[in-house]
A and B are shown apart, each in its own frame.
Chain A
Amino acid sequence: MNTDLHVILNLFATSSRLQKKRAYLTIAAIAWGTVAILLLLAFGEGLKLQLDKNRRSTGENLAVMWPSETTKPWKGMPPGRPIRLRIDDVDFIRERMPELKAVHGELQAGRTALTYGRKTVNGRILGVNYVFGDDRKHYPQAGGRFLSVEDEVQRRRVIFLGDEMAKDIFGDEKPVGKTLLVNNAPYTVIGVMQKKTQMGVYGGPDGNHAVIPITTFLAQFGRDRLNVMVIQTEQPQQMKAALAKVNELFGAKYRYDPTDDRALATWDMVKSAKTTGNITIGIQLFLGIVGALTLLIGGVGVANIMYAVVKERTREIGVKMALGAKQRWIIAPFVLEALLYTFIGGALGIIIATLLVSLTSFIPIENNRVLSFLGRPTLSPEIGIATSLILGLIGLAAGYFPARRAASVDPASTLRYE
Chain B
Amino acid sequence: MTDTTNKLIIRMQEIRKVYDTGKIKVEALKGINLEIEKGEMVAIVGPSGSGKSTLMNLVGCLDTPTSGIYEIGGQAVAGVTRDELADIRNRRVGFVFQAFNLLPHITALENVELPMLFGAVRPAERRERASQLLDRVGLGDRLDHKPTELSGGQMQRVAIARALAMEPDIVLADEPTGNLDSSAGGDIMSIFTDLWQQGRTIVIITHDPALSRRASRVVEIHDGRITSDQATNEAA
Q: Which of A's residues lie within 8 Å of B, judged by CB?
A: 3, 7, 10-11, 14-16, 315-316, 318-327, 329, 410-412, 415-417
Contact = CB atoms under 8 A, between A and B. Distances in A.
B62 A320 contact: no
Contacts of A327: 82-83, 86
A415 B62 contact: yes
Given A7-B117, A14-B106, A412-B57, A323 B97 contact: no
A178 B118 CA distance: 90
A411 B82 CA distance: 11
Contacts, number: 75
A411 to B, nearest CB: 5
Interface in B99-143: 99, 101-106, 110, 114-115, 117-120
B133 to A, nearest CB: 14
| Interface core residue of B63, B95, B101 (most chain A CB under 10 Å) | B101
Interface residues of B, number: 34
A322 B62 CA distance: 6
Contact of A329 (B97, B118, B175): B118
Nearest to B118: A324
A33 B99 CA distance: 43
Given A315-B101, A415-B101, A322 B60 contact: yes
B115 A323 contact: yes
Please classify the interface of chain A as helix (H, G, I), strand (E, B), loop, or mixed, using the class held by over half of its residues.
helix
Interface in B26-84: 53, 57, 60, 62-63, 82-83
A410 B21 CA distance: 14
Given A16-B103, A318-B101, 12 more contacts: A319-B101, A319-B102, A324-B118, A327-B83, A329-B118, A411-B62, A411-B63, A412-B62, A417-B53, A417-B98, A417-B99, A417-B178
Contacts of A325: 86, 118
B207 interface: no
Nearest to B172: A322
A323 B175 contact: no
A410 B106 CA distance: 23
B86 A326 contact: yes
Interface string B172-202: 0011001000000000000000000000000
B57 to A, nearest CB: 4
B222 interface: no
Contacts of B110: 14
A324 B62 contact: no
Contacts of B119: 324
Contacts of A315: 101
A15 B175 CA distance: 28
Contact of A323 (B89, B98, B99, B174): B89
Contact of B174 (A16, A321, A417): A417
A7 B118 contact: yes
Closest 8 CB pairs of A and B: A324-B90, A412-B63, A324-B118, A16-B105, A412-B62, A412-B57, A323-B115, A417-B98
Contacts of B14: none
Nearest to B60: A322
A322 B178 CA distance: 20
